[in-house]
Amino acid sequence: MVRVRFAPSPTGPLHIGGVRTALYNYLFARKNNGTFILRIEDTDQTRYVEGAEEYIFESLEWCGLKVDEGVREGGPYGPYRQSERKGIYREYAEMLLKKGDAYYAFDTPEELENERKRAESGGETFLYNSSVRDRMKNSLTLPEAETLKKVETGEPYVIRYRMPAGIQIEFDDIIRGHITVNSSTLDDKVLFKSDGMPTYHLANIVDDHLMKITHVIRGEEWLPSLPLHVMLYRSFGWEAPLFAHLPLLLKPDGKGKLSKRDGDKMGFPVFPLYWPYGETARGYREDGYYPEAFVNMLALLGWNPGTDREIFSLDELVAGFSLERINKSGARFDPVKAKWFNHIYIQRKTNNQLAMEFREILRTKGYHYDINRLEILAGLVRERISFVKDMWDETSFFFSPPEAYNEEAVRKRWKEESPAILNDIAGVLGTTEDFSTESVEEKIKNLIAAKGYNNGTAMHSLRLVLVGELRGPGIFDIISWLGREETLSRINRGIEALQGR
Ligand code: GLU
């Protein structure tokens, strides 16, 4: 039975790298008919941020990643918020103390600082390890009675793991393969503090064990902690889960970890949703991305399907997913590609769906149109847009006549005969009953042919007076949509404004 967990700490908005970790856990769980667990790791009270937990729930929900067991869902191994499991960890810390694999340490911050300075002045980094612990103030150096007295009288302490010296710690990572680390490079990490709270390492291992986690799938930044975690499993005598450490998400130039600053600089979000607290941050949802497009894009940042196929629904991702196809090297984030994914998902929507979304945008601008009118516009511009909000840029001239005419276009395209041509076109359209695109096209083309007008001049002049510049969808589509009255009014206004130019 596969059981995996996403174990974020509520310290701020969830980075898209975190969402990708959640996604891979979810895909792996679904693929193996397993269970996807959401555990909130909030033991570090100093880093707790109000609103962050809610943000995590909402982000997963938006992405369609349904949690099987968690804070809100409940489940047989709860509670799923570590601060509510406080009472559990102490006994496990004590188990290690009893075994001699952990010890109390009473060193004050000043004493530790002095040691650090001493090491640094000798050009070394300070590690509280086997060569240091013997001269520090801890239960290994103090008489037992004194240790007991200190603990009982409430002197501040931490419980440290007693990392053995000079052994080779060997383990496997599904993505990175076999790894060997010499324990002498590791320090005696703090597992428990006298405030009654475990550190990340202890709580994480105990909970993964108690929650029967089979696979730990998490970011590469936790790989350095893995030797300690492996040792903790051994000390407890527990079977360790399998580990898979995911590659980093890199900046667009591939140099270093993707950060909020990169997004701010280059104009893309690095968070799934808008973050409204303190230093605000933009989100993919509010930027107009569809969750399907966002999830599809994220899935391919680090995992490859083994073919060059790029478009996958969540179910298709589940079907194709495997940890073996996760890349070792970092995944470069490409903001242009992100937009491309949304563009593709736009093409999969019906005109009606796009029109419904666009109607909301128009409402905020004070325009109210029937849905069938907007569906026509959606059909005209859908291939050029990556977001529904782009529809406004592509179609704004449909909703109000030009206030000015593009100078350069006028200079290049407005000819002496333009007013005469437009007057003739206005005359023909004035008597045209059927205002379908095909019908107005036929009428106007016949006129141009009969009078021997220059087709380019006619089309450019018409576009200039209807749009104000030389852009937009097919001119006959524009005329058909505007209708007789509006088309004639724009032609007349244009002639008046540009006459003599
Ligand atoms: N709480 C850790 C984090 O915020 C979890 C790491 C893990 O999955 O073990 O990333």
Ligand 1 geometric centre to CA of 52 (Å): 15
CB 388 within 8 A of CB 346: yes
Which residue among 222, 225, 226, 229 has the greatest number of ligand 1 atoms within 8 angstroms of its CB, and so is best to mutate? 222
- Interatomic CA distance for residues 278 and 131, integer angstroms: 44
Strands of 94-146, DSSP E: 102-105
- Interatomic CA distance for residues 483 and 96, integer angstroms: 82
So what's the pLDDT on residue 416? Answer: 96
Task: Tell me phi and psi for residue 303, to 5 degrees.
Answer: -120, 145
Ligand 1 geometric centre to CA of 363 (Å): 43
Which residue's CA is the nearest one to ligand 1's atom 2? 8
Which is more confidently placed, 66 or 500? 66
CA distances from 127 to 114, 183, 186 (A): 12, 12, 7
201 pocket-lining for ligand 1 (C-beta < 6 Å): no
User: Of 186, 188, 13, 218, which Cα lies nearest the Cα of 104?
Assistant: 188
Which residues are catalytic, by number? 260
Count CB-CB contacts under 10 A for residue 232: 25
pLDDT at 329 over 90: yes
**382-386, long-range: CB within 8 Å, 24+ apart, which pairs?**
382/346, 382/347, 382/349, 382/351, 382/354, 383/347, 385/343, 385/346, 386/339, 386/340, 386/342, 386/343, 386/346
* Ligand 1 atom showing the smallest separation from residue 208 Cα: 9
* Ligand 1 atom showing the smallest separation from residue 204 Cα: 9
CA distances from 500 to 215, 364, 412, 417 (A): 77, 39, 14, 10
So what's the pLDDT on residue 194? Answer: 85
Give tens-digit pLDDT for 240-296.
999 999 999 999 999 999 999 999 999 999 999 999 999 999 999 999 999 999 999
pTM, to two decimals? 0.93
Ligand 1 geometric centre to CA of 412 (Å): 62
pLDDT at 500 over 90: no
Ligand 1 geometric centre to CA of 28 (Å): 17
218 pocket-lining for ligand 1 (C-beta < 6 Å): yes
Bridge partners (DSSP) listed for residue 283? 271
* Ligand 1 atom showing the smallest separation from residue 225 Cα: 9
- Interatomic CA distance for residues 447 and 107, integer angstroms: 96
So what's the pLDDT on residue 501? Answer: 82
226 pocket-lining for ligand 1 (C-beta < 6 Å): no
Task: Tell me phi and psi for residue 24, to 5 degrees.
Answer: -65, -40
126 pocket-lining for ligand 1 (C-beta < 6 Å): no
So what's the pLDDT on residue 452? Answer: 97
* Ligand 1 atom showing the smallest separation from residue 217 Cα: 8
So what's the pLDDT on residue 41? Answer: 97
So what's the pLDDT on residue 204? Answer: 98
- The pLDDT mean for the chain works out to 97
7 pocket-lining for ligand 1 (C-beta < 6 Å): yes
Ligand 1 geometric centre to CA of 114 (Å): 31
Instruction: Give percent above pLDDT 90 in the chain.
Output: 98
